[in-house]
A and B are shown apart, each in its own frame.
Chain A
Amino acid sequence: QVQLQESGPGLVKPSETLSLTCTVSGDSISNYYWSWIRQPAGKGLEWIGRLYSSGVTKYNPSLQSRVAISVDTSKNQFALKLNSVTAADTAIYYCTKEFYSSPAYYFFGLDVWGQGTPVTVSS
């Protein structure tokens, strides 16, 4: 079955760019949709954005001006970049796989999660 593993720096300085990678194993990244989720300590979940199997992306309007999700099909990986970070971006970041219907798209849920990677924004 599909497994996900996040990787990237655990500490980022304010105003710099947060960069994380999610490695997909067990299936081709081109077969599904993928999302990044984050969770500040002791708080709820926030959806950051989606990578469609076509390579098209969709972002949370609250982060749209600072976020980019990209794919490297040769490595079966997708990446998150969040620029101009502040302390408010400190959180555990999860990559996830979407479960949905096709051809008519109905979002059913996020059925596979990575273990999460903590990112702290601090000088």
Chain B
Amino acid sequence: QSVLTQPPSASGSPGQRVTVSCSGSSSNIGSNRVSWYQQLPGTAPKLLIYNNSERPSGVPDRFFGSKSGTSASLAISGLQSEDEADYFCAALDDGPSVVVFGGGTTVTVL
């Protein structure tokens, strides 16, 4: 059971906007920075969003991260077929000072 809570699945049609939520607590998301990872089938995860809302170089601006209180969200606008992947959120947890992850959300493009 993951410390951060994500819905198991999300879907949308090409061109639509999909949002993935990530819920935590005051000891992790509430007091630390959130990152998001995209994992395409058979590959290693890739950093998609860091520091709540920053995008690494090369990540399209269709991906948008936000955080409010003890929850965070990843929005994908202009959904494309290549966005079909698993998406994970992560944050540091102050208690044990360890990195905790969400269980992952599989995004399907209909």
Contacts and interface: CB of A to CB of B under 8 A. Distances in A.
Interface of A: 35, 44-47, 50, 58-61, 94, 99, 106-111, 113-116
Contacts of A114: 44
Contacts of B51: 106, 108-109
Contact of B47 (A45, A106, A109): A109
Contacts of A59: 98
B56 A111 contact: yes
A110 B35 contact: yes
A61 B98 contact: yes
Contacts of B46: 113
Contacts of A94: 44-45
A106 B46 CA distance: 19
Contact of A44 (B43, B99, B101): B101
Interface in B21-46: 32-33, 35, 37, 43-46
Contacts of B60: none
A68 to B, nearest CB: 16
A60 B32 CA distance: 18
B100 interface: yes
Contacts of B98: 47, 50, 58-61
Contacts of B100: 47
Contact of A47 (B49, B99, B103): B99
Nearest to A112: B47
28 contacts: A35-B99, A44-B2, A44-B103, A45-B45, A50-B98, A50-B99, A58-B98, A61-B96, A61-B98, A94-B44, A99-B50, A106-B32, A107-B33, A107-B35, A107-B91, A107-B92, A108-B51, A108-B54, A109-B35, A109-B50, A110-B45, A110-B47, A110-B99, A111-B56, A113-B44, A113-B46, A113-B47, A115-B44
